[in-house]
Amino acid sequence: MKKCLKVTIRSNVDNAALCDKIQAIARESGIEGTVQMQENGIIIIACGEKEIIDDFLDEIHKGVGGVIPEDVHVEPFLREKDYRGIFRILE
């Protein structure tokens, strides 16, 4: 079963490095979607098999690349477009 989430992470670290690490994890897991830097954090759109998305979310909560987020907000997301099986960093 497919699942899509919008995840907002607030942090005070180098968001560019965090985006790179999240993209690497998502690609290794076969997750499609996007990650985009914001002024005080990042926004992730992640779509994939339910179990894989749940594992991805657990990894984010535990910390990505040694960075434990200050705040993680998760909400369901209705897929608006075809991500073509790729996870991208948006500028």
The pLDDT averaged over each successive group of 10 residues in the chain (91 residues) is 91 81 94 90 94 94 82 88 86 80
β-strand partners of 32 = 47
Q: Is 0.75 topped by the overall pTM? A: yes
Q: What is the dihedral of CA 47, 38, 16, 12, to 10 degrees?
A: -110
How far is the C-alpha of 39 from the C-alpha of 10, rounded, in Å?
9
**CATH level 2 (architecture), domain 2-80:** 2-Layer Sandwich (3.30)
Domain definitions of the chain by residue range = 2-80
